[in-house]
Structure 1
């Protein structure tokens, strides 16, 4: 640590000296051979000019007053050119040089002191070093620890599948890791074993919304309504039910629910800005569409790429009813109703118009306001 501080001090001193060194030097106005030659040339020119004036006056080309005035001007210029510029400049520059040296000494002693004081007040000199390699290793270790913990809980649940507490612990971890389908199954097991509880039902509904690309499906809506029956003041179910009303086109109902949430919210509630944004969207002129925050172009392009990949795979190899339903919802969320209707018709053909298999697809179609498409012959 001492060596580091010494290096910093040395670097600071060198930087200050490099900046102040030119200010401490005496201006180089002393006469040099080139300067002497220039002075000799100028004085010789004005002496020749004086002699030329005398000749013109003797020949009568200049009147006496004009000749006298010309001699005075030429003599004045000769006198100015004959002076030693180095001596005059040195005499004139001496006070300025003293001022620059004083300013240099002040800056050299003050700047490092001020820097140390500021760092001592606002910095963290006692903070231990955290090299990047160690931070990256720690992050990898944390990720490995989480994966190991998940694997350990999964192994335990394989041996004791009726451990509801284990499923309740694992479900939010699955959701955070993006394993949405696994999270839904874990929540269902926890609800079945431990019973219904408002928070667990709300989290289960949120997982269902995530699986539906942000659409509040009828299954998610049922979970949120059951959560409200457990706790009428629960925020998450109220918010998603307001979003569901917005998706259904019932703007008045959605506005009333959002307004009730905003009115009951504490000023520092982290979800309050989202509620206010939803109210502003409803009070504006834009249609509610999928009742989701507007996606940026980059995010929309990424979502579209995933949707097109799923569409191509289903067209080439087919898929499960849930995958067809997801594709229908995705096109609905993107606002591409014709593509959603076309996908619905393809799903009915691919699944052979089997009512049982088509149930999730038809549910997705109803949520998107579809249902008129016919199977592709």
Structure 2
């Protein structure tokens, strides 16, 4: 059945391509041909000669020119209407049709998989899992990258590079020395060395307890050193980042990329959708991520998906400027007004998990744990069964002291 359908489709496609070759060259027969016009002109020249309008020499010159054009037109008409060119056109059409159909089917037979069965969803997921489990390690991915070219540096700068490297080697516990080394290796294009230096910084600053921006820098350098591949070692850093901050742009982007690299675009959609919900609207990459996330939505069963716009409504620049000129009581009243406005909007219109988290966090800062607990309970009801949403809201509830 497959070959029958494929052959019919190839015939239809080939026929559309070669039909113009086989079509008869039809000319407009509603008016006189060029040959008829020139014959009429010869007759008119003869009449003008008989009437004395033209001299014998003038008539002869005119006849010669018209006769030349008549011969050319007659030859063109013969070529257009002849059988030999038409036979050639038909032959070319047949050869082209055979070439298109046979060539297409033959090429598919060699390069395609004509006898392959439909791949069940479970098998695709299993294949993706196998691909995920067999990713290269960080060392393997780095070794597969081309060796960075040496930069031709003046002697004084080369001495500086060696001095920075030696200083970090002699002082492995000196964060400042390691930070200088990481920066210099980035400039030199040695991202693998930069990643190792940043890893030492993270270790010296407490490992998993290091500041999140240091861990985000480490993850970025590890992925870059691996040629864009999110290795198991890089993934572990990213998971720590997302455990600490579920809305980390670095964590969301690269874990989403991890799933795309390993055949799970449906899972990538979950992370990149959340990325869009937390990204600043003026981010340079926002348009590209929006388009890709729309493509990923189909795999997640969200054909009607529309990329979100970051709707968190914090104070505007004008609000902040106005607040700086207020006394403490006026500032407190302004903040309370913002909190009340957000609470009213969520009650009447609903909102994103990030907005619920924003409200709970604000109430916690105000010390209004009673209302924070009530909002947390309401959020649990509204997002029951949506663990992704609750993972966004829960850290805010914990920080407000109303959840564990």
- With normalisation by structure 2, the TM-score equals 0.36
Of structures 1 and 2, the larger Rg is shown by 1
